Structure formats: C-alpha cells, structure tokens
Amino acid sequence: MTFVSTVNHAAGKTHIPGAASVFVDTLDFAGYSAERTDSSATTVYEPQSGWYHAGAQTYRITGAHGTVEANTSTLAVRSANVAWDLTTRVGNYASYALARLHSNEPKTETITYEFDPGDQHVTRLTRVSTHSSGWQNASSPSK
C-alpha cells in the first residue's frame, strides 16, 4: 500500500512526496491540480504541463494528461494513469528547442497504478525457517 500526502507550494504546484516508493517518486515529476472530489471521498488530480525545478536541474513537461485518484481524508493513492513528455536539462526555451531538435528528447513517460485492497498471500520458501529466533547468514560462522 502506498500513502502519499499533498502540500501546496507557490507557483501552483502540488507536491506529492514519496514514501520510499519508485512509483511515488516517478509521479512527483509533475505538478498536479485537484480537479474534483466525488461522493466516494476520492479526490481526482490531473498532472500539469510546465517548467519544473529539481535541485539545480530544470526540466519541461509537455502533453501531460491522465488522472491520479486519492482518498480525500488519508491521501492514499488509489489509482493513477498519467503520461507526459519529459525534456531534461533545459533551463530556458532556447535550450528546450535545441534539445527537441538535436537529441532523442522528449521521452514519453507513462505511469499506471491501481491499489488492490485484497488479501496478499506470500509463499514461504521451504529453506526459510519458521521460528523467529533471529536471522543468521548461512555463510557466517556459528557462535
């Protein structure tokens, strides 16, 4: 299960910080606007095209579309289906235009995710001990 929270920043970007999740980190490339909240307590966010900064790097997202659905009160992401074109290492429109002409950018990124609230079944490997006296590396000498 992935939980995220949203914090509104200046310039209209809604930041969705990751919880040690590649999924959430990847979603974080774009800013989002809350489009609507429905009767099932779900808020729908849409990615926004524009110029973004990550540390010293500036990048541009174009053609952003799709939705991210999150629980309104817990902010847990229920589903996401978003895509955009990402052009990196561009600080202004001139460098963006040159990157589009002379490189393989933009790169299209598509992210699809759906939370499954059902029971998860994990199969225990036969070589894994069933007692919980602690873990010991098989190559470590016994004490």
Which segments in the chain show pLDDT lower than 70?
1-25, 117-122, 124, 127-143
The DSSP output letter for 12 is: G
pLDDT in tens, 121-138: 667 677 666 555 554 444
Phi-psi region of 100 (alpha: psi -120 to 50; beta: other; left: phi over 0): alpha
Output the pTM of the full model: 0.64
Q: How many Cα atoms occupy the beta-carbon half-sphere of 86 within 13 Å?
A: 20
